[in-house]
């Protein structure tokens, strides 16, 4: 019998027009941050929204709606870490949602595209242990990163 996990995705508002293609592909293929789930786990999307723009006003309310829909894990989309500058509120969002709503939060959705990986490497954006920890779930191999360019 296949297991099931209800997922919510919150994206950075600067990507508010994103259709979610990379996130949905990664979810379907269990790639990027979705690789933390067994391949025999059916991932069901029960909520998808933006943070509401800096400093994340929607973070206070969107998880409550997702929880009503049965969300078990909320993913903060990869855009939070690959955009420039990366979201300065991401740790606050994670901590707030986990504390207030008792919902696990994972940083990332789809694998980091190679073009973003290359630029952030040149800029040394992710050279701290804190940033390495934030991107660990989405830091795939080069072949996978190129497939998400």
Domain limits, the chain:
3-147
52-111 tens-digit pLDDT: 999 999 999 999 999 999 999 999 999 999 999 999 999 999 999 999 999 999 999 999
Give the per-residue pLDDT at 1.
58
pTM of the model: 0.95
Give the per-residue pLDDT at 36.
96
101-114 tens-digit pLDDT: 999 999 999 999 99
Give the per-residue pLDDT at 98.
98
Q: Please say whether the dihedral angle defined by the alpha carbons of residues 66, 71, 73 and 78, taken in this order, is positive or negative.
A: negative
1-39 tens-digit pLDDT: 579 999 999 999 999 999 999 999 999 999 999 999 999
Q: Does domain 3-147 have CATH number 3.40.50?
A: yes
pLDDT at position 130 over 70: yes
Helical residues (DSSP H) of 1-149, grouped into ranges: 21-29, 62-68, 79-82, 90-101, 114-123, 129-135, 142-147
Give the per-residue pLDDT at 136.
93
Residues 114-120, mean pLDDT to the nearest whole number: 96
> Length of the chain, please?
149
Residues 126-147, mean pLDDT to the nearest whole number: 94
Residues 117-138, mean pLDDT to the nearest whole number: 95
């Amino acid at each position: 019998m296949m297991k099931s996990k209800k997922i919510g995705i919150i994206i950075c508002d600067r990507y508010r027009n994103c259709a979610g293609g990379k996130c949905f592909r990664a979810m379907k293929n269990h790639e990027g941050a979705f690789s933390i789930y067994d391949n025999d786990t059916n991932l069901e999307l029960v909520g998808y929204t933006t943070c509401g723009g800096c400093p994340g006003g929607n973070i206070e309310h969107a998880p409550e709606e997702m929880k009503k829909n049965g969300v078990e894990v909320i993913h903060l989309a990869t855009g939070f870490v690959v955009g420039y500058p990366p979201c300065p509120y991401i740790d606050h969002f994670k901590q707030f949602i986990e504390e207030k709503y008792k919902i696990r939060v994972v940083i990332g959705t789809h694998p980091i595209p190679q073009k973003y990986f290359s630029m952030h490497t040149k800029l040394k954006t992710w050279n701290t242990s804190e940033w390495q920890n934030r991107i660990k779930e989405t830091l795939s191999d080069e072949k996978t990163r190129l497939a998400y360019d």
